[in-house]
Amino acid sequence: MNESSHNQTSKKVLVIGGGIAGLTAAYELARLDLDVDLVEKSNFLGGHAIQFCCKADDECQKCGACSVEKRLLEVIEEPRIKVSLGSELTGMNRNSRFSYTLSLRPLKIDPQKCTNCGVCLEKCPADGAIVRGYSKNNVPLYAIDQNHCLFFKDGSCKVCQDVCPEKAITLDQGDSQASGEVDAIVVASGFKAFDPVDKPWYRYGINKNVITGLELERMLREKGEVLRPSDNKFPERIAFIQCIGSREPKLQHGFCSQVCCSYAMRMAQAIRHRYPEIKATIFYMDIQNCGKDFSSFYTKCRDNIHFVRFTPSDAWQGEGDQLTLRYSDEKDGHVIEEVFDMVVLSVGIMPGLSNAGLADLLKIDLDEYGFFACSDPLDSTPTSQQGVFLAGTAQAPKNIADSMAHAGQAAQRVAQYLGVMPCPK
Amino acid sequence: MEEIRIDTTVLVIGGGWSGIKVACELVDLGYRVILIEDSATLGGNGLFDHLVSSNKEELSSLLAKVKDHEAVEVLVSTRLVFLTGVPGDFRVWLEQEGKVSEKTAGAVVVALEAEIVSLSTAYGFQAAENVLTQSEVEARLASGGAGDISKDVLFLVGLQQEGSPLVMERAIRSASEIQALEGCQAKVLVGNVKVAEHGLESLYRQSRERGIIYIKVKEPPKIKQDGSSLQIEVFDNVLNRDIKLTPDMVVVEEAFRPHPDATRVSQVLGIGTDSEGFFQQANVYYLPIRTNREGIFVIGSAREPRNLMHGWTDVGNTVLEVRNLLGEGKKLVPIERAKIHRGKCTICLTCVRVCPHGAIYWDNRAIISPVACQGCGICASECPMDAIQLVNYTDEEMEAQVLASIEKKVEAPQIIAFCCQNSAHEASRMARLFGSSLPEGLQMIKVPCAGKVDVDYILTAFEAGTDGVLVLACHKDNCKSQHGNTFAEWRVEHVGRMLEEIGLEKERVRFATVASNMPVEFVRITNEMEDTLKGLGPSRIKKQAAA
């Protein structure tokens, strides 16, 4: 996978988080001839964005999902970037350099031996215990989720270890520690998607056909088509409900997540283009822009998708796992009840669960919402700690293109801070 | 590999705040900057961006630095009239008050700020004392002209244009200032409230708490103006009836349009624009600050009107790209990525015209710059004399690959799929890795860009007995070489017509687009092709060869 070619005398940077912002920061830093320790707490690089689907209809919608794929490939091929999966920051000390400690959850599947045959996943008796990465550039492609694995629950199962033809799986490996020293840090720890379990009136977790925008992304990416989870049939009518978790001062989420209108419109449009028999409705408060050429895209969408400026307060159970949404007509206000086969909740970008802990360890601040605070009114990358910079949604909600740009800017600021950009004579 | 000398001067076009900032950052790295500005003064459009008005000190110091620094040559009343050359070696002609001078530069940064255009006429207003543009109200509030603000002020936003967070923020801030004035009430008649920007939703909510009334509607209002009497009629979707507003004063939103010289400058530079005329086509490969042409970058409102923080992000990324391009003034490059055979070249300049990266120029023969060339191969496959060969993808090598891919003894339909390395090739590898079921007779040939696929390769494949050919490219607007996929599509149509002429079915050759992250689409397209070919039966050429 990654043979690091660390130069002992060159400067080194710690990048916390292997999503698109972390990947971009690592890549740009490596391009500047800096060594990078890229630390990711989950089993896979790519964060949320690697799970997203292409949303082209008859042309590219510039969502950036394929850019993530490309960046991931560039990172795993870059010898200056040393990747550590299953790793979380446990300590940070600052003297002349930053000394950090990590807790390491070793990879149970050895990437050197694994041939990606998938037999382990096939034979595994526990649901969700073995997971496959989203991209071929996830190395290793398979990983063991200790939360669902029976071996880690009660030691009762070793099926994968026994059936693996390459003997690549070793379950009995405890957590360990690792440490390192770096000269600068980039915090690119990403976000947590809003969990609509906190809004049970939409019946998420109760009715199988209520899914989140992220779940729709995964479905389209893996299957290439949209199917009702309850019966694997095509939905005839899909509803998207916007602003789930966002723009809600009551939940202390008084911000716009910036990506939900884009992803809902693009996915609805892509679905309609491929399957014109599926009807799509988007329930919204205010439609937000997505990139260049937005006006013409919005016009195209309005021809294909029914836009209703109303946020339904509930999703009522209908016949056969259908859902009824009620809204008022915008001409005369009478109440309309419409039946849908699927409801997609456009969940927003919330602060990551590890933000508070990381802020403590790094001695940097969080803003009022729980995202990492930036210290400069014109530049959203520096923090109150010299040498610690922010990249991506760790700082605030933003889309893929903005996350990549933000990470590039962070890399440039790191280089400036370290004084490493060579000058022409 | 050879080491070539790289010019370490950067031409920055546009002396607004982003242009000034990038100039400062570049000279800090030791590069020289020529900063040109078409007006007589440096410094950007003033009050419209709150970040500008609230960071005057920092911006003033940047301005001072740019004016005083010995590595920055500031030329006002100057515009670019001509550019030639390649990255690391551009020659530019600058015109100042009728006089033209020639300079050299290694890279170019376009920072021509967007202009602000009033929409009062679009709404149907006549000029009047009490009909102000957003800029006018900002100027009035800034100069402390509180007494000139009437009691009941109505802002019109997002009804004659879709608008953007920057447009919205201007209205919210000015409305908030007016609301704070004694006896004033601000109302905002708005389409979509644009808050997709850091801190903007919070600003919007606070303005509502201060008493500003937002009326969200879907249609532009009907305007009745009689002297200073204003009547605004619109259908209110909450009350479900028409409402009539009679403000003392209206403030009309403004639109951001590309700099008035944008079209001409984009033509001089050979870079594309988007559908609204802003620099930089909409293509993910160009984000954030690149263009179709290596060595030419676009920052700030030249590419998209957003606030100064985004301009600063663009500057940071540009510094990285410039540093990577210009380095310390010399660069190790492969001697040639594409070779031009002097004997065959007729200097028709087809290659110069089709190269999307501006990598080909000509002296008394066509020359390909190794710094700018991206190895897409579009030129090689368009050259009418076959005078250009792409290293590692020569015609000889490609035809050999095609012939090697034809398997004589396979029962299933033979499909040769030319796969673009940026999309289909990646998707195909993922499909294999995920154990997807692909057609048995499928053979894939990687190409650096679908634009490399020559008509000859496809014909060779049919001649050798393939049942079908797929050319798989990136989606429209997703081509790393801008239009490689378009060239590929045209060539496939061309081959289809040729097939019909010789008695083969045109369905045997197909062009399709796929993304690198969608192996399921790759599987679908290849399996569909197999079904089509099963329906058509084996190719007549194959049957004849076997007979």
CB distance B338 to B377 below 8 Å? yes
Residues A339 and A397 in one domain: no
* CA nearest to A13, candidates A139, A121, A98, A87: A98
State the architecture of B116-256 in CATH terms: 3-Layer(bba) Sandwich (3.50)
Query: Which among A291, A295, A406 is the nearest to B282, CB-wise?
Result: A291
Q: Which residues contact A88 (CB under 8 A, 6 or more apart)?
A: A39, A41, A102, A103, A354
What CATH number does the domain containing A369 carry? Answer: 3.50.50.60
Q: What does each of the 547 residues of chain B score in pLDDT, given as a tens digit?
A: 888 899 999 999 999 999 999 999 999 999 999 999 999 999 977 668 999 999 999 999 999 999 999 999 999 999 999 999 999 999 999 999 999 999 999 999 999 999 999 999 999 999 999 999 999 999 999 888 766 777 999 999 999 999 999 999 999 999 999 999 989 999 999 999 999 999 999 999 999 999 999 999 999 999 999 999 999 999 998 899 999 999 999 999 999 999 999 999 999 999 999 999 999 999 999 999 999 999 999 999 999 999 999 999 999 999 999 999 999 998 888 878 899 998 999 989 999 999 999 899 888 788 899 889 999 999 999 999 999 999 999 999 999 999 999 977 778 999 999 999 999 999 999 999 998 999 999 999 999 999 999 999 999 999 999 999 999 999 999 999 999 999 999 999 999 999 999 999 999 999 999 999 999 999 999 999 999 999 999 998 877 766 6
Query: Which among A222, A296, A421 is the nearest to B275, CB-wise?
Result: A296
Whole-angstrom Cα Rg for chain A: 23
Q: Which residues contact B400 (CB under 8 A, 6 or more apart)?
A: none
Phi, psi (5° rounding) for residue B444?
Answer: -110, 140
In chain A, the number of structural domains is 2
Judge: B327–A69 Cβ closer than 8 Å, yes or no. Answer: no
Judge: B55–A378 Cβ closer than 8 Å, yes or no. Answer: yes
Domain presence at residue A307 = yes
Phi, psi (5° rounding) for residue B463?
Answer: -60, -35
Gap between the Cα atoms of B267 and A241, Å rounded: 44
The strand pairing partners of B226, in sequence order, are: B229
Q: How far is A108 from chain B (nearest CA, A)?
A: 20
Query: Which among A66, A377, A422 is the nearest to B51, CB-wise?
Result: A377
Quickly list DSSP for A238-273. EEEEEEESSSBGGGTB-S--SSHHHHHHHHHHHHHH
Judge: A66–B515 Cβ closer than 8 Å, yes or no. Answer: yes
Helix%, strand%, coil% for chain B, nearest 5: 35, 25, 40
Residues A258 and A394 in one domain: no
Domain presence at residue A126 = no
Residues A214 and A308 in one domain: yes
- Residue range(s) in chain B whose domain bears CATH number 3.30.70.20: 342-390
Q: How is domain B2-114+258-331 classified at the CATH fold level?
A: FAD/NAD(P)-binding domain (3.50.50)
Chain B residues with CB under 8 Å of A286 CB are 192-195, 216
Q: How is domain B395-546 classified at the CATH fold level?
A: Rossmann fold (3.40.50)
Q: How far is CA B295 from CA A257, A395, B343, in A?
A: 34, 31, 30
Residues A180 and A199 in one domain: no
Chain B residues with CB under 8 Å of A378 CB are 51, 55, 58, 308-309, 312
Residues A219 and A242 in one domain: yes
Gap between the Cα atoms of B248 and B226, Å rounded: 12
pLDDT score at B150:
78
Chain A residues with CB under 8 Å of B216 CB are 286, 309
Q: What do you get for the CA distance between the two ends of chain B, in Å?
A: 51
Helix%, strand%, coil% for chain A, nearest 5: 30, 25, 45
The strand pairing partners of B34, in sequence order, are: B11, B73
Domain presence at residue A117 = no
B280 to chain A: closest CA residue:
A292
Gap between the Cα atoms of B298 and B288, Å rounded: 9
- Model confidence at A184: pLDDT above 80: yes
Question: How far from the centroid of its chain's Cα atoms is residue A337's Cα?
Answer: 34
pLDDT score at B546:
67
Residue found by looking up tokens 């400026």 in the block: A309
Q: Is the dihedral of CA B409, B412, B414, B420 positive or negative?
A: negative
- Model confidence at A273: pLDDT above 90: yes
| Whether residue A106 has a cis bond before it, omega within 30° of 0 | no
B192 to chain A: closest CA residue:
A286
B276 to chain A: closest CA residue:
A293
Residues A267 and A389 in one domain: no
Question: How far from the centroid of its chain's Cα atoms is residue A119's Cα?
Answer: 27
Q: B535 is written with which tokens?
A: 């329906």
pLDDT score at B334:
81
Domain presence at residue A3 = no
Q: A383 is written with which tokens?
A: 């923090």
Q: Tell me which of A316, A334, A349 is where a domain ends.
A: A349
- Residue range(s) in chain B whose domain bears CATH number 3.50.50.60: 2-114+258-331, 116-256
CB distance A398 to A379 below 8 Å? no
Quickly list DSSP for B427-477. HHHHHHHTT----TTEEEEEESSGGG--HHHHHHHHHTT-SEEEEEEPPTT
CB distance B80 to B112 below 8 Å? no
Phi, psi (5° rounding) for residue A65?
Answer: -60, -40
Residues A328 and A371 in one domain: no
Q: Which one-letter DSSP state was computed for residue A304?
A: H
pLDDT classification of A5: cutoffs 50, 70, 90: very low
Judge: B316–A412 Cβ closer than 8 Å, yes or no. Answer: yes
Domain presence at residue A186 = yes
Residues A271 and A334 in one domain: yes
Residues A184 and A285 in one domain: no
Size of interface A-B (CB pairs under 8 A): 204
Chain B residues with CB under 8 Å of A261 CB are 196
Residues A35 and A182 in one domain: yes
The CATH code that applies to domain B342-390 is 3.30.70.20
Gap between the Cα atoms of A392 and A399, Å rounded: 9
Give the tens place of pLDDT for each residue, A97-144.
Answer: 999 999 999 889 998 899 888 899 999 999 899 999 999 999 889 999
User: What is the maximum alpha-carbon separation in chain B?
Assistant: 97
Residues A410 and A370 in one domain: yes
Judge: B58–A378 Cβ closer than 8 Å, yes or no. Answer: yes
Q: How would you classify the pairing of strands A130-132 and A142-144? A: antiparallel
Q: Tell me which of A325, A349, A373 is where a domain ends.
A: A349
Domain residue limits at A42: 12-105+175-190+352-418
Residues A274 and A388 in one domain: no
B485 to chain A: closest CA residue:
A59
A379 to chain B: closest CA residue:
B309
Judge: A286–B276 Cβ closer than 8 Å, yes or no. Answer: no
